[in-house]
Homo-oligomer: A and B are copies of this chain.
Amino acid sequence: MPGPMTIGVDVGGTKVAAGLVDSKGEIVRKVRVPMVATADAETGFSAVRNAVTELVGDAMPREVRGIGICSPGPLDPRTGVVLNPPNVPCWRDFPLGAETERAFRVPTRIDNDANAAGLAETLWGAGVGYSNVFYATLGTGIGTGIVFDNKIYWGRTGSAAEGGHNTIDYNGPRCGCGKRGCIEILCSGPAIARRARARIVESHLPTKMLEMAGGMADRVKAEHVGEAFNAGDALAREVLEETADLLAIWLGNVVDMLEPEIMIVGGGVAQLMSSFFGRMKKTIPEWSINPRAHEIPLVLAKYTADAGIAGAAALCR
């Protein structure tokens, strides 16, 4: 007989992924169903229902102890209500937690993806053995999660840990969030591509990035920067070194404010930056007043594509 399980549900704007996760954080089985986020609330919710049903069938297995759901925010993790996510316009003040409990008769928790993924890393991933964890997912955007004493830190209304929009350059480029020089507008995937394009245009240096983008600077993407770096391209290296330094400045602030036991970074940009972790580990202490900043591990997340499922499942542990 299998041990206790939780179901993790990862809601996106066009699909819902769900997984059955065991007590060690292993994803035993997973499914994915389409999501229509632009119709009414019930249509949106039917995607969650379909995903869970496809995962476990019509009768909830006895070993399932709860359902955790990562949903685009803002949301209130205490009440389980999704407020008004731009990417899921069908849910406005929608009681996702309560509806899920009603549908499946198991305890349900909701939270945003970065908070949940940070918890999964703490319980089952790169943060095992630590109880005070700073997690960041670096990708199209930058999300963060704070875990204290093995619990997600929510703040006043569940909106804490939005460190991806902490500014390190108030004169810097303006982000979609309205702020200038936040780390997302400097170091997300699109931001790396933007800086690479600017360097290509202003330097006039030959670069493999340009080849990889078909000769058009305005088509250079973060992936091209990574591929060009792997192929020995000097300009691509410069762009990624600058990215590493900017991330280190930001993480230096995190060390000074939170002094976590470990810092875990996940997401596509974290993978892209993995060759520069050594540089970041040297630079973070230069941007922290903590004399023991160098002792704080900076590591890659365990979970990659399944971080949402694992994170959601962790919410019910």
Q: Measuring CB to CB, which residues of chain A are less than 8 angstroms from any residue of chain B?
A: 74, 132, 144, 146, 148, 153-157, 159-163, 165-171, 177-179, 246, 249, 252-253, 256-261, 286-292, 296
* Identical chains in the assembly: 2
Question: Looking at chain A's contact residues, is the secondary structure mostly helix, strand, loop, or mixed?
Answer: loop
Taken together as a complex, chains A and B put the C-alpha atoms of A155 and B147 apart, in Å, by 11
Q: Which residue from chain B places its CB closest to the CB of A287 in the assembled complex? A: B179
Give the contacting residue for A160; candidates B153, B168, B178, B259; CB below 8 A. Answer: B259
Taken together as a complex, chains A and B put the C-alpha atoms of A246 and B179 apart, in Å, by 13
Task: Determine whether the beta carbon of B289 is less than 8 Å from that of A155.
Answer: no
Contacting residues, chain B, for A249 (C-beta < 8 A): 167, 170
Contacting residues, chain B, for A291 (C-beta < 8 A): 74, 159
Given A167-B249, A168-B170, A170-B168; A290-B260 close (CB under 8 Å): no
Taken together as a complex, chains A and B put the C-alpha atoms of A252 and B175 apart, in Å, by 15
Contacting residues, chain B, for A159 (C-beta < 8 A): 259, 290-292
Task: Please name 24 pairs of A and B residues whose Cβ atoms are closer than 8 Å in the assembled complex, sorted by A.
Answer: A132-B156, A148-B148, A148-B153, A155-B258, A155-B260, A156-B260, A156-B261, A156-B292, A159-B292, A162-B257, A162-B259, A165-B289, A166-B257, A167-B249, A168-B168, A169-B170, A170-B249, A177-B289, A178-B286, A179-B252, A179-B288, A179-B289, A257-B257, A257-B258
